[in-house]
């Protein structure tokens, strides 16, 4: 694997800046390459608060300008702001961010107009080929740069989807993780009757308090304590670029991505009867069951935002959710937004009236393992051993392999970048989950 293969991922570009994986020269070449694959005349460019982001953004913009593209520089924002600009104004979009990765990393997320994602199969491989061939140096910049603060416009957009008058005066504990949520939240919170208990809302690209990676339970401990100590109705933790959000109930217990997906899906179905709702195949069986019970049509997809967004477009789905805390909204150009997911959940709470610890019980009939990484050298061979071990199971190969035993199921997916299988298990109770996890581990050859 060469240096470019290391940083060009399935959905974005990401690598270490301290070891020279992602340099300003590479960022400039990516700007030239991206300009070469798009028809849009203008690219909206945002960046996160990492110390390397200003210089990488400047280099990327230089590449765009040299290739003749105009640039709308929106400054330090959350990634969903870029999706909004690309959707509302018909620009292409680029976000300089490494999301939840440590401070030594950075990256570039790309989209076309309409917030259509650019991934490996939809243009990113072409950008890599241009960079690999040596992006042309090009001469004097022929594009122009305009700077604009679009955060108020983004807040206006969010409140065209969620009614602020329907949100009750709740107490909410917020953990920004020193990421980009804190750059956008003030324009949103100013319009809501909330009491907030704030943790780490100041953007700081060194992430001095804890990693901005709320999928790791250890990074939720402080906001869980704040919910309990402050008597909050809801806790919210954002990842580094705020396109994901994780939620904590009023007793300090985190919600899974499946629970949040089911709750938000029911809310949308109350407004769009019979609509389609997309969920990836890792979410709990409770998700399609809740969608069907609410009169909707569940649509199952592979894991990953490019698949989710494409299927949402095909089915005109009003909402889509993933186990990983990504939530997608038709009226948000099918883009994911942790901030919008928070607003919808606040409206759900206000309209239902029950505390979240009670409300969640409607959609949590099963126990789940969460995602478990299994270190495996030959991933395909390991998956086939598991299939053979369950000869009477229903086998599905939509994404990795899903083994359905009726009262319990598991999915094994190979990582694109590591010698790892990702295991997810669901059963009627914790005993069943633990037993199936142990059996799969044994077959794969990985101990507890």
Cα-Cα end-to-end distance for the chain: 30
Q: Tally the C-alpha atoms within 13 A of residue 221's C-alpha that lie toward its C-beta.
A: 6
Closest by alpha carbon to 44, among 5, 88, 100, 107? 88
Let me know: does 403 contact 281? Beta carbons within 8 Å.
no
Size of the chain in residues:
448
Give the integer Cα–Cα distance in Å for 356 and 234. Answer: 7
Burial class from Cβ neighbours inside 10 Å (0-12, 13-18, 19+) for residue 58 reads middle
φ/ψ of residue 414, rounded to 5: -80, 140
Q: Which residue has the tokens 């186990």?
A: 323
Q: Is 333 left (phi over 0), alpha (psi -120 to 50) or beta?
A: left
DSSP string covering 121-159: IIIIHHHHHHHHH------S--S-EEE---HHHHHHHHT
- Locate all alpha helices (DSSP H) within 15-52, ordered by sequence: 24-37
Give the integer Cα–Cα distance in Å for 180 and 81. Answer: 10
Sign of the CA dihedral running 79, 86, 260, 418: negative
Burial class from Cβ neighbours inside 10 Å (0-12, 13-18, 19+) for residue 248 reads buried
Instruction: Please give the positions annotated as active site.
Output: 99
Between helix 181-189 and helix 338-352 the angle, nearest 10°, is: 40
Burial class from Cβ neighbours inside 10 Å (0-12, 13-18, 19+) for residue 231 reads exposed
Closest by alpha carbon to 86, among 61, 122, 110, 120? 110
Query: Hey, what are 54's tokens?
Result: 């200003």
Closest by alpha carbon to 389, among 447, 439, 445? 439
Let me know: does 25 contact 122? Beta carbons within 8 Å.
no
Cα 438 to its chain centre, rounded Å, is 29
């Amino acid at each position: 694997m060469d240096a470019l293969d290391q940083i060009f991922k399935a959905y974005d570009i990401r690598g270490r800046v301290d070891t020279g994986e992602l340099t300003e020269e590479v960022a400039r070449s990516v700007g030239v390459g991206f300009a070469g694959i798009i028809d849009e005349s203008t690219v909206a460019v945002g960046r996160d608060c990492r110390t390397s982001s200003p210089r990488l953004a400047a280099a990327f913009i230089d590449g765009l300008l040299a290739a003749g593209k105009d640039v709308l520089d929106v400054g330090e924002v959350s990634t969903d702001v870029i999706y909004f600009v690309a959707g509302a104004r018909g620009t292409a979009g680029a976000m300089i961010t490494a999301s939840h990765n440590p401070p030594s990393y950075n990256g570039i997320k790309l989209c076309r107009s309409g917030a259509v994602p650019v991934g490996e199969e939809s243009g990113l491989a072409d950008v890599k080929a241009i960079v690999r061939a040596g992006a042309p140096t090009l001469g004097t910049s022929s594009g122009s740069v305009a700077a604009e603060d679009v955060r108020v416009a983004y807040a206006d957009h969010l409140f065209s989807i969620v009614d602020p008058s329907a949100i009750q005066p709740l107490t909410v504990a917020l953990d920004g993780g020193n990421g980009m949520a804190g750059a956008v939240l003030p324009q949103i919170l100013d319009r809501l009757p909330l009491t907030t208990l704030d943790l780490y809302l100041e953007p700081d690209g060194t992430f001095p308090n804890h990693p901005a990676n709320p999928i790791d339970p250890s990074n939720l401990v402080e906001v869980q304590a704040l919910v309990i100590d402050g008597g909050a109705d809801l806790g919210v933790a954002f990842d580094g670029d705020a396109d994901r959000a994780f939620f904590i109930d009023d007793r300090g217990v985190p919600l899974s991505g499946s629970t949040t997906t089911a709750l938000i899906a029911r809310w949308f179905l109350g407004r769009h009867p019979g609509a389609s709702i997309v969920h990836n195949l890792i979410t709990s069986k409770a998700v399609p069951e809740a969608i069907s019970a609410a009169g909707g049509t569940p649509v199952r997809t592979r894991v990953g935002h490019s698949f989710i967004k494409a299927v949402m477009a095909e089915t005109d789905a009003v909402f889509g959710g993933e186990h990983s805390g990504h939530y997608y909204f038709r009226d948000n150009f099918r883009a994911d937004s942790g901030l919008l997911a928070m607003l919808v959940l606040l409206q759900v709470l206000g309209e239902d009236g029950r505390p979240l610890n009670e409300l969640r019980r409607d959609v949590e009939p099963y126990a789940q393992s969460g995602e478990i990484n299994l270190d495996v050298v030959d991933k395909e061979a390991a998956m086939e051993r598991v299939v053979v071990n369950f000869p009477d199971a229903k086998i599905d190969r939509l994404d990795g392999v899903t083994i359905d035993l009726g009262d319990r199921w598991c999915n094994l997916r190979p990582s694109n970048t590591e010698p790892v299988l990702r295991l997810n298990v669901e059963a009627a109770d914790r005993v069943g989950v633990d037993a199936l996890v142990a059996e799969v581990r044994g077959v794969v050859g990985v101990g507890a």
